[in-house]
């Protein structure tokens, strides 16, 4: 799909800590250069992001996640356009991620959804009114963003949502 921008300072926190890294002998840890420490942190974040995708039940064949500063590159084959978009949004809506480079393929391509960035004061009803002309269609947006959304009242500024085409 391409490169997507996200608000780097908004989103789910992964709560990665130094002790989440694989255990290494103290001598080699002390000798690690700043570049090696950065690479280790990025590998740990990539692993945590890949686990997050799996934990959300989003099945992608040969899922690959790479992190380079605030850029996350994702590869693999998604079974549908919906799963591909949800993976991109899930990864992009993580604190510290500013861009997602989507290099996934889709087994059954469909027209893409619109992505919308939530602003202060937004509700799903307000967004539904804006896109569909009917505030009561907010459940369509809520369902399109599950499992990332667990409650239609819990959206936040900077979060990016999928807006499926009107039926």
Mean pLDDT of 145-151: 92
Per-residue pLDDT tens digits for 38-58: 899 999 999 999 999 999 999
In sequence order, which ranges of the chain are alpha helices (DSSP H)? 26-31, 34-55, 81-92, 124-132, 138-144
Closest CA to 76 of 67, 93, 64, 84: 64
Phi, psi of 85 (to 5 degrees): -65, -40
| Rounded Cα distance, 120 and 118, in Å | 7
Instruction: Give me the residues paired with residue 94 across strands.
Output: 12
- Residues near 160 by Cβ (< 8 Å), separated by ≥ 6? 4, 6, 89, 92, 93, 115, 116, 117, 118
Structure tokens at 139: 């459940």
Is pLDDT of 134 > 80? yes
Q: What is the mean pLDDT of the chain?
A: 89
What pLDDT, on the 0 to 100 scale, is given for residue 28?
52
pTM reported for the whole predicted model:
0.82
* pLDDT value of residue 23: 46
Q: Residue 20 has what pLDDT?
A: 44
Domain 114-163 fold is Membrane-bound Lytic Murein Transglycosylase D; Chain A (3.10.350)
Site of tokens 């996350």: 72
Which one, of 72, 24, 28, 29, lies nearest residue 48 by Cα? Answer: 72
Segments of the chain assigned to CATH 3.10.350.10: 114-163
Mean per-residue pLDDT, 19-37: 61
**At residue 21, does pLDDT exceed 80?**
no
Q: Could you report the per-residue pLDDT of 66-125, keeping only the tens digit for each?
A: 999 999 999 999 999 999 999 999 999 999 999 999 999 999 888 899 999 999 999 999
Question: What pLDDT is attached to residue 18?
Answer: 44
Label the pairing between strands 71-78 and 61-68.
Answer: antiparallel
């Amino acid at each position: 799909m391409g490169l997507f921008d996200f608000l780097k300072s908004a989103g789910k926190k992964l709560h990665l800590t130094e002790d989440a890294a694989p255990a290494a002998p103290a001598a080699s840890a002390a000798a690690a250069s700043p570049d090696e420490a950065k690479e280790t942190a990025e590998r740990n974040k990539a692993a945590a992001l890949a686990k997050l995708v799996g934990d959300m039940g989003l099945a992608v064949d040969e899922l690959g996640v790479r992190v380079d500063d605030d850029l996350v590159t994702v590869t693999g084959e998604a079974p549908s356009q919906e799963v591909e978009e949800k993976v991109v949004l899930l990864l992009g809506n993580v604190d510290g991620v500013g861009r997602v480079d989507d290099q996934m393929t889709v087994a059954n391509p469909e027209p893409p959804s619109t992505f919308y960035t939530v602003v202060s004061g937004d509700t799903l009803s307000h967004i539904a009114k804006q896109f569909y002309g009917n505030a009561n269609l907010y459940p369509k947006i809520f369902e399109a963003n599950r499992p990332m959304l667990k409650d239609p009242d819990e959206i936040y500024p900077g979060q990016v949502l999928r807006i499926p085409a009107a039926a």
